Structure formats: structure tokens, C-alpha cells
């Protein structure tokens, strides 16, 4: 975090069950760097870990950044933030970045959020309400009303007629059927953020949507390894280099360890920056970007692996 910004915690409170809101202001009282709807910041939490959190306030606000954080037992970084930070404390953050930018759409927007995945979408909704004119619909799924961030705000008149709330109690049989919202693209832009299972379901339901109209943001990193994972060899067609990718290491990380420069951004399989041509071999696709018809000859280096003993990529 070479461009650290020192911020003071102006507000820290639980806003829903296990969801905590933090408001940051510049420690010297200055305006904070501009951000756009869908952006995130990286926070150095008290135990020294770095964690990425979406900004959920209106991008027009220059004096504060607001994040909302879900307490999750396995995440030591988030636990450190929630348990170790109080109003008046100072923290270091990195300037905002945006891998989930809101693009213009004359036909409007469809937002699908699951749980804490509402955070980047709240920034988008606030921006659209403030600027006016754009039509949108939010579909927001949570386990229970008490676990729904921003529930009271979304019941306000400026949101209420545009929001569908659904609570499933954690029962898969009560999950909302998303197909009625996705069967006809109608020229809209789709933004989805939530659990990876939900995003995979949305990806599978949007094969008939234009690829450029479907956008995903992961609020958690994909699993570093799965029980069935095994090492495989990557061969680079143009350079002639080849190397093994061990279990628990991504192709992107292995490339960099060999001295190769490879573009990337989200490193969670949602933005498409590291997309590379797949020339031979069978990929184990774990991204949320590629459509089914693209998977035979493309791979996302940040998350995907190989099912075959080796693969050849266009590098």
C-alpha cells in the first residue's frame, strides 16, 4: 500500500445481525480521493492483514468513505476490524479502485445482491437516485430481515418501488427463482454481487445475455484449493517456457514467479482482465466471466486450473 491514506473512524456500529458499518474521514480533515460507484478500498486492519471492502456511500460525497462488513468466523482480518476498531481510531487505507464500474445504459439496470454483496450496489443505487433518469430494479436476497443491511433505507420512497426483497431462512428450497428477472435482457446492464454459488447460478441463467452487459463482483476470494486439485504443467506457446503449477498456487502466481508479466485486476475470476487464449488441454474453469461457448479456447489465469496433465496458453 504505497499510497496509504490515514483515515479516522468517525462511526462504527452494527447495522444488522453480524453486519458492521464503518465511516472513515481523512485524519487531517481533507477531502478524500474521488471514487466511482462500485469501487473498493483496501484496509490495513489492526492485526496487519489487508482486506478489500466495497464503498457503499454516494460517490459524490468527498468527505467520507463508508463500508459495511460481515462478521465471518474464518476471516481473521475482518474479525480484527470488527473487534479491534472503535470510533476515533486511525487506520491506513489504499485509494479506491474499481473493478465493478457502473456503465451507462439507456435501457436501465438490473441489480442482484446476496447478503453482504449489497455493499457496492448501494453505492450504485445512491448514484442513480442522485443523478436521476436511469431506471433500475434491485433483487436483494438475504437469510432474514434482521440480517439485511440497509433494510430501513431501502424501504424509503426513493427505493421502495424499485426493490424486491427476499428472505429464505437459509433453506435452499426457499431460494428465490431468479429466472423471471433474467429471461429477457431488454437491453439492460446486469450487476450481481453475492455468494459465489448465487453468482454461478446467475451466470448460468444469462447465457442469452450479451457478454458485455453482465458484470460480477466477488465479496470473498475463491477457495485456494479443492480436494480434487493436483499439479499440472503450463506451456507457453510463444516463449517456449513451461512450468508446473502446484496445488494452492494459481497460474497467474506461477507465471509471475517465473518472471513473466501478466495483467490482472480482481484476481477473483470476475473482471476478465487476465483472460488468455487456451490453445491446448482441458481447463478447469472457476471464473464467473466466460460464457459456455468461450470456455473451449479461453482461460482466466487468476482462478482456473487444468483437468488435463498440461495446458498450452498463448503467451
Q: Which domains does the chain have, with CATH numbers?
A: 5-97 (2.40.30.10), 109-218 (3.40.50.80), 232-313 (3.10.20.30)
CA distances from 94 to 11, 32, 114, 123 (A): 19, 11, 26, 18
Pairing label, strands 65-70, 90-97: unpaired
Distance between CA atoms of residues 40 and 37, nearest Å: 9
Residue 237: which pLDDT band, with cuts at 50, 70 and 90?
Answer: very high
At 1, the pLDDT band (50, 70, 90 cuts) reads: low
Average pLDDT over residues 100-119: 94
User: For position 73, what pLDDT does the model report?
Assistant: 64
Which range, of 78-82, 113-117, 265-269, averages the lowest pLDDT? 265-269
Average pLDDT, the chain: 93
What pLDDT shows up at residue 87? 97
pTM score: 0.85
**What is the structure's pLDDT at 2?**
65
Q: Calculate what percentage of the chain has a pLDDT beyond 70.
A: 98
Please say if the pLDDT value at position 220 is more than 70.
no
Report in angstroms the alpha-carbon separations of 35 from 51, 65, 100, 102, 313.
18, 9, 12, 12, 35
pLDDT bucket at 160, cuts 50 / 70 / 90:
confident
**Bridge pairing between strands 90-97 and 5-16:** antiparallel
Residue 60: pLDDT above 80?
Answer: yes
d(CA 196, CA 216): 10
Average pLDDT over residues 123-143: 94
CA dist list (Å): 279 to 64, 136, 219, 233, 293: 47, 40, 31, 14, 15
* Strands of 189-194's sheet in order across: 163-167, 136-142, 109-114, 189-194, 214-218
Q: Using 50, 70 and 90 to split pLDDT, how confident is the model at 264?
A: confident
Contact 54, 38 (CB under 8 A): yes
Amino acid at each position: 500500500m504505497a499510497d496509504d491514506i490515514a483515515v479516522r473512524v468517525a462511526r462504527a456500529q452494527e447495522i444488522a445481525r453480524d453486519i458492521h458499518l464503518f465511516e472513515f474521514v481523512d485524519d487531517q480533515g481533507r477531502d478524500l480521493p474521488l471514487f466511482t460507484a462500485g469501487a473498493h478500498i483496501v484496509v490495513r486492519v489492526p492485526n496487519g492483514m489487508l482486506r478489500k471492502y466495497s464503498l457503499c456511500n454516494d460517490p459524490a460525497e468527498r468527505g467520507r468513505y463508508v463500508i459495511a462488513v460481515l462478521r465471518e468466523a474464518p476471516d481473521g482480518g475482518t474479525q480484527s476490524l470488527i473487534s479491534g476498531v472503535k470510533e476515533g481510531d486511525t487506520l491506513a487505507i489504499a485509494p479506491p479502485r474499481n473493478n465493478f464500474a457502473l456503465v451507462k445504459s439507456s435501457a436501465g439496470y438490473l441489480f442482484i445482491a446476496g447478503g453482504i454483496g449489497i455493499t457496492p450496489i448501494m453505492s450504485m443505487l445512491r448514484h442513480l437516485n442522485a443523478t436521476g433518469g436511469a431506471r433500475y430494479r434491485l433483487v436483494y436476497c438475504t437469510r432474514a430481515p434482521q440480517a439485511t443491511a440497509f433494510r430501513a433505507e431501502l424501504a424509503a420512497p426513493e427505493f421502495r418501488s424499485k426493490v424486491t426483497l427476499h428472505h429464505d431462512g437459509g433453506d435452499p428450497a426457499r431460494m428465490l427463482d431468479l429466472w423471471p428477472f433474467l429471461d429477457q435482457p431488454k437491453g439492460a446492464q446486469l450487476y450481481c454481487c453475492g455468494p459465489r454459488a448465487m453468482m454461478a447460478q446467475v451466470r448460468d441463467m444469462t447465457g442469452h445475455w450479451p457478454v458485455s452487459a453482465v458484470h460480477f463482483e466477488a465479496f470473498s476470494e475463491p477457495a485456494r484449493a479443492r480436494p480434487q486439485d493436483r499439479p499440472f504443467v503450463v506451456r507457453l506457446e510463444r516463449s517456449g517456457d513451461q512450468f508446473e503449477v502446484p496445488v494452492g498456487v494459481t497460474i497467474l502466481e506461477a507465471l509471475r514467479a517465473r518472471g513473466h508479466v501478466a495483467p490482472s485486476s480482481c484476481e477473483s475470476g470476475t473482471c476478465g482482465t487476465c483472460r488468455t487464449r487456451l490453445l491446448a488441454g482441458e481447463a478447469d474453469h472457476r471464473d464467473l466471466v466466460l460464457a459456455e461457448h468461450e470456455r473451449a479456447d479461453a482461460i482466466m489465469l487468476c482462478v482456473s486450473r487444468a483437468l488435463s496433465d498440461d495446458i498450452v496458453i498463448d503467451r
